[in-house]
Structure 1
């Protein structure tokens, strides 16, 4: 069902150049915690764990054939946690659909090298890179690497994608809590570049254009007030206390930007409409090969849903 509210490309405070960088870092850290934290009684797992489960279940035996490149990684976001949960599930619970022989691989159309049990690889990139933060994630996991230079998702350097294709891998682009930031012309340009250079993309959003998101974000704001002392102690950051309780900028920005993000979030049909009109080389014949699947999984009872879109070239 289409939302009652039309999509609006409204502004978010965290996107504005005048918003102080030291506060932006705290906002991004809080969003990462929203991805990676599981609240007892309200959640059976974190949203990042749920995203990993979606990739594993909906890609099946193809999950190992991809390298996953996050094109809007920010300071790291949920990708390190998604990597941990996805590779953990692959190593502990082998996929029953995974081909057991080269004959099975050929019959399934799966590259022979995917028969290995090697962990899947994730790459962090961004238009505004955070190499120091990414280096920490890369040290903590051998399955994470990063591009230290700026990477434009609408004009990706051929070598970035090409190096993995030379290794026999396909490339899936990840947009976690990011795709709603692009206006329609930029979104089309990014999808055009994706169709022309990559093999799949996945979009994960923690909000949608409905009343349920409104209440979920209020709960998020309450959680910020409740957990601020813990994170101030963990981060050794009195700034967190000051701008949560004395001058409550952080909870205000997180809730306000969350509501604006909900208004900017596209439905799967709206994303597919942009895909079909992106003007990629090969025209309608090429675009007809791309299959769009979508769904939602509850990550916070009773109103919070992880909305996902996975699109692969057939």
Structure 2
């Protein structure tokens, strides 16, 4: 898929029920972790952290923290020093963040106040990451996220848990609904609302399939990402853009940039 469609995702809509939105994000967090979606890009991220001599990461647009605990675990396993990650979002999912902070004994912390990814406070230094969220933004805003990192001389890594391939749509349509029905009782922290909106009124499965489809159509291709970084005034930055292959046959789109 070379074309990008700017369609709407339900979780982006202010009117969309909060409990359903949170349930959908919890499902994605569980699946991303269980399938190890972002494991293929950990070596690339670790290399960038070594180049910038950073052990502090600032995760932007964290949602429910999908996959970030596993990223931290893999960095700790592959690296030679401890890493700390601060979770941030314009609409912080504090319940999920507290759960992750407890599970990592404080290695994952979080910001309770809304953080705009296009204007990160100067007192929050660290290598920035965006997992599974860059496609939500229109090109002008997405470019502004990169520009803010450049303006503050911070490294940034953008990662999408798909490769924008047609067969990935079949996975979303044919596999995701059954997976959600199977895994929901095992998702933590437990909530009754998640059970209600999965089995009695199945808004979470339906919403996840819709948003998953739209997400694939909204993903930026490597060509799109190359054009974005070319528009930045960043002569001192090194950029790496491409697809990393996942064991399932899907891909992980990535963009990594840091001061040379």
TM-score band by shorter chain is 0.7 to 0.9
Partner of 1:9: 6
**C-alpha separation in 2, matches of 1:136 and 1:182:** 27
Cα 1:69/1:127, change in 2 over 3 Å: same
Which of 105, 108, 116 is 1:144 aligned to?
108
Matches within 5 A, 1:102-121: 117-121=80-84
SS in 2 for 1:297: strand
Partner of 1:268: 222
Cα 1:68/1:255, change in 2 over 3 Å: same
Partner of 2:207: 253
**Structure 1, unaligned stretches of length 5 or more?**
39-45, 91-116, 162-170
Which of 39, 52, 64 is 2:42 aligned to?
52
- Report the TM-score when normalising by structure 2: 0.88
Which of structures 1 and 2 has the bigger CA Rg? 1
**C-alpha separation in 2, matches of 1:147 and 1:235:** 19
Cα 1:210/1:220, change in 2 over 3 Å: same
SS in 2 for 1:203: strand
Which of 238, 244, 247 is 1:297 aligned to?
244
Kindly tell me the number of residue pairs found equivalent between the two proteins.
258
Matches within 5 A, 1:1-314: 3-4=1-2, 6-38=3-35, 46-56=36-46, 58-59=47-48, 61-62=50-51, 65-90=54-79, 117-141=80-104, 142-161=106-125, 171-218=126-173, 219-228=175-184, 230-231=185-186, 236-278=190-232, 283=233, 287-299=234-246, 301-302=248-249, 304-314=250-260
| Cα deviation, residue 288, structure 1 | 2.3
| Cα deviation, residue 26, structure 1 | 0.7
The answer to whether the 8 Å contact 1:207/1:261 transfers is no
SS in 2 for 1:159: coil
Higher relative contact order (CA 8 A, sep 6+): 2
SS in 2 for 1:291: strand
**Structure 2, unaligned stretches of length 5 or more?**
none
CA deviation vs aligned residue, 1:233-256 (integer Å, no higher than 9, x gap): x65545444433443321111111
**C-alpha separation in 2, matches of 1:33 and 1:275:** 32
**C-alpha separation in 2, matches of 1:7 and 1:34:** 25
Partner of 1:114: none
| Cα deviation, residue 50, structure 1 | 3.3
CA deviation vs aligned residue, 1:142-172 (integer Å, no higher than 9, x gap): 32222222211111211222xxxxxxxxx32
| Cα deviation, residue 198, structure 1 | 3.3
- Report the TM-score when normalising by structure 1: 0.74
CA deviation vs aligned residue, 1:187-246 (integer Å, no higher than 9, x gap): 122221111113321111112433122122132222113333x337x6554544443344
